Amino acid sequence: MTFISDMVDKVSEEGSKHEDTVSSDIRHTLSATLCEMLDDCGDMLGAMVSANDGRALAERLQSGLDKHRFAAMSSALLALSDNVIRETNGGSIKNVLIQSDDGNVFILHAGNGLLLTVFSQPDANLGMSLAHASKGAADIAALNLRMDF
């Protein structure tokens, strides 16, 4: 586990160094999309958009959460899940769901090179939360953002 923690630390540190590589217009557009998604689903506690390389691009998170660490971990989890599905000839991944006693985390592809991470309450209606997260990911993908990663 130390190896993985060290890798997350390294990726989140790199992500924080390159935070200004995305324009304020793109950040504003992504933030507005996140706000709309969170307003539409009361079970959601927070969300973030990040790049596949683990850089945080826009977020609406609970205080105390490190956006750079969560961007790095989300990227790693989604990449690992993509590899598991590819190795088992299972098609393409739709989402990753992590359930815990204290809440749920959804990680979804959200267009070319982007992913959406959503945090929900522990007693959330998972179907409704996933439907809202899927719509949010589709809305982000539809923005067809042009970013140089």
What domains sit in the chain, N to C, each tagged with a CATH number? 2-142 (3.30.450.30)
What is the DSSP track for 16-65? HHTGGGS-HHHHHHHHHHHHHHHHH-TTEEEEEEEETTS-EEEEE--TT-
Total count of residues recorded for the chain: 149
Higher-confidence residue: 12 or 86? Answer: 86
Query: Which of 22, 93, 94 minimizes the C-alpha distance to 51?
Result: 22
- pTM of the shown model: 0.84
pLDDT band at 112 (very low <50, low <70, confident <90, very high): confident
For residue 105, what are the β-bridge partners?
98, 119
Give mean pLDDT, residues 109-129: 94
Structure tokens at 114: 């982007």
User: pLDDT (tens digit, 9 = 90+) per residue, 23-75?
Assistant: 888 899 999 999 999 999 999 999 999 999 999 999 999 888 899 999 999 99
Please count the other Cβ atoms lying within 10 Å of the Cβ belonging to residue 145. 20
CB-hemisphere CA count at 13 Å for 67? 20
- Is the pLDDT reported for residue 87 higher than 70? yes
Give the span between the Cα atoms of 27 and 32, in whole angstroms: 9
- Is the pLDDT reported for residue 149 higher than 50? no
Structure tokens at 115: 């992913």
